[in-house]
């Protein structure tokens, strides 16, 4: 078993702050949206907490962005430019998650410090971090002070449009977290990826030795 330093400290700090923040944002957001059904706290506390946590996570996003922009580890987010190669790798990974894993097949992706994501993670994390998270923060800031940002809100189609985008993304993120945590439990042991996001080190299983006769 080898150890590979895969998650540098800034990524780990960003990630767990972000995960906790998203859970709190979802909880307070649910109460703000469904006031009749959920009353975990007073409405005012939910709004104030939602705004504050939102701003903390926006600042935290720049920890993630700054780390990757100013280090060569940005390579882990470089997309695969050959569509054929990308689709082959995605298909292999889907086959593994949907079938191979239940037969005990080895994971087709072998992580390294600069290629830690498999094809599916790579696409998913790019969309989440470079598109959906920024849109969620942007619409959140607009809704935080609609009067101040009224000209931008109007240009985007009004409060209803901005609010709908914010709520649709909230539903997507809630679903993403469930799938993400499930997939994160599919390491060589159920806790392997979680430990790697805490300690920084991923344990890499040795390749099975080829029989000399085969
Ligand atoms: C309970 C909540 C969460 C848990 C337990 C969790 C767990 C993990 C684990 C174990 C990893 C490392 C293995 C892997 O890459 O799959 C990871 C990576 C990652 N997670 Fe999460 N996560 C959570 C919430 C979130 C949320 C809310 C987001 C974004 C909105 C997120 C975005 C990411 C990203 C982008 C990575 C790759 C980070 C990098 O190396 O740059 N996670 N997560």
Report the SS3 class of residue 115.
strand
Alpha carbon of 210 to ligand 1 centroid (Å): 34
| Residue 49 counted as domain residue | yes
| Residue 92 counted as domain residue | no
Q: Which protein residue has the closest C-alpha to ligand 1 atom 20?
A: 15
Tens of pLDDT along the chain (214 residues) come to 789 999 999 999 999 999 999 999 999 999 999 988 888 899 999 999 999 999 999 999 999 999 999 999 999 999 889 999 999 999 999 999 999 999 999 999 999 889 999 999 999 999 999 999 999 999 999 999 999 999 999 999 999 999 999 999 999 999 999 999 999 999 989 999 999 999 999 988 766 554 434 3
Domain that holds residue 184: 2-79+113-204
| Pocket (CB within 6 angstroms of ligand 1) | 7, 11, 15, 18-19, 22, 121, 125, 128-129, 133, 173, 177, 180-181, 184, 193-194, 197
Q: What's the domain count of the chain?
A: 1
| Residue 24 counted as domain residue | yes
Task: Specify burial of residue 36 (Cβ count, 10 A radius: 0-12, 13-18, 19+).
Answer: exposed
| Residue 158 counted as domain residue | yes
| Residue 213 counted as domain residue | no
Q: CATH number for the domain including 41?
A: 1.20.950.20
Alpha carbon of 193 to ligand 1 centroid (Å): 10
| Residue 93 counted as domain residue | no
Residue partners of 188: CB distance under 8 A and separation at least 6: 107, 203, 205
């Amino acid at each position: 078993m080898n150890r590979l330093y895969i998650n540098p400290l800034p990524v780990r700090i960003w990630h767990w702050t972000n995960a906790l923040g998203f859970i709190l944002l979802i909880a307070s957001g649910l109460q703000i949206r469904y006031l009749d059904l959920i009353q975990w706290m007073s409405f005012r506390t939910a709004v104030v907490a939602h705004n504050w946590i939102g701003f903390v996570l926006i600042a935290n996003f720049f920890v993630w962005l700054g780390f990757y922009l100013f280090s060569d580890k940005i390579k882990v987010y470089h997309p695969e430019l050959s569509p054929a190669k990308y689709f082959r790798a995605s298909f292999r990974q889907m086959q593994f998650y949907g079938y191979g894993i239940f037969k005990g097949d080895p994971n087709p992706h072998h992580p390294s410090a600069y290629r830690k994501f498999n094809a599916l993670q790579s696409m998913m994390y790019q969309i989440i971090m470079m598109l959906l998270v920024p849109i969620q923060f942007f619409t959140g800031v607009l809704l935080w002070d609609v009067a101040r940002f009224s000209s931008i809100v109007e240009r985007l189609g009004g409060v209803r449009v901005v609010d709908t985008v914010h709520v649709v993304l909230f539903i997507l993120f809630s679903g993403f977290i469930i799938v993400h945590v499930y997939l994160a439990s599919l390491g060589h042991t159920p806790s392997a990826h979680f430990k790697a996001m805490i300690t920084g080190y991923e344990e890499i299983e040795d390749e099975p030795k080829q029989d000399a006769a085969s």
